């Protein structure tokens, strides 16, 4: 494996982690409800972007860009581990409705966002 690709993943991860911190914190601060909408927002955003970029990189082979943007940045931006912890914490606190809502919203919205990202790519480049 080329060291430059490893560096691209690391740089993307650095960017994605900072974006996750800023975006999720900002969205959560704006939310009037006690629900992890910040995590939901970055998961949906990341899903949309990966849907678009997955098709982009099928058309334009650029291993370093793919490593930077998909593996690094989006890997750090989306927060499935945080989502999982928040869901388990809700379950442990007896907040079953919120936990089910959290799982449902994250899965449905993120899958939908990925499809929308792909649709946007096809509309632009199709």
- How confident is the model over 49-78, as pLDDT tens digits? 999 988 888 777 678 888 999 899 999 999
| Distance set, CA 47 to CA 28, 32, 40, 41, 79 (Å) | 19, 24, 10, 10, 11
Structural domains counted in the chain: 1
Q: Check if the beta carbon of residue 72 is closer than 8 Å to that of residue 17.
A: no
Q: What is the pTM of this model?
A: 0.85
Question: How far apart are the C-alpha atoms of 45 and 20, rounded to whole Å?
Answer: 10
- pLDDT (mean) for 23-43: 95
pLDDT at residue 58 in the model:
77
Question: Coil, helix or strand for 77?
Answer: helix
Which range marks the domain in which residue 13 is found?
3-125
pLDDT tens track for 76-122: 999 888 899 899 999 999 999 999 999 999 999 999 999 999 999 99
Q: What is the C-alpha separation between 126 and 121, in angstroms, rounded?
A: 7
C-alpha span between 98 and 100 (Å, rounded)? 5
Look up residue 93 and give its two tokens.
């606190």
Quote the tokens at residue 89: 């914490």
């Amino acid at each position: 494996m080329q060291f430059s690709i490893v560096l691209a993943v690391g740089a993307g991860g650095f960017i994605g982690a900072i974006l996750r911190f800023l975006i999720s914190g900002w969205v959560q601060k704006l939310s009037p409800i006690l629900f992890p909408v910040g995590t939901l927002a970055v998961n949906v955003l990341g899903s949309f972007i990966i849907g678009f970029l997955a098709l982009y990189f099928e058309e334009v082979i650029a291993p370093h860009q793919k490593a930077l943007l998909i593996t690094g940045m989006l890997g750090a931006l989306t927060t499935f581990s945080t989502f999982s912890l928040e869901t388990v914490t809700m379950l442990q606190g007896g907040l079953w409705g919120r936990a089910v809502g959290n799982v449902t919203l994250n899965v449905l919205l993120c899958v939908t966002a990925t499809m929308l990202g792909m649709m946007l790519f096809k509309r632009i480049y199709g």
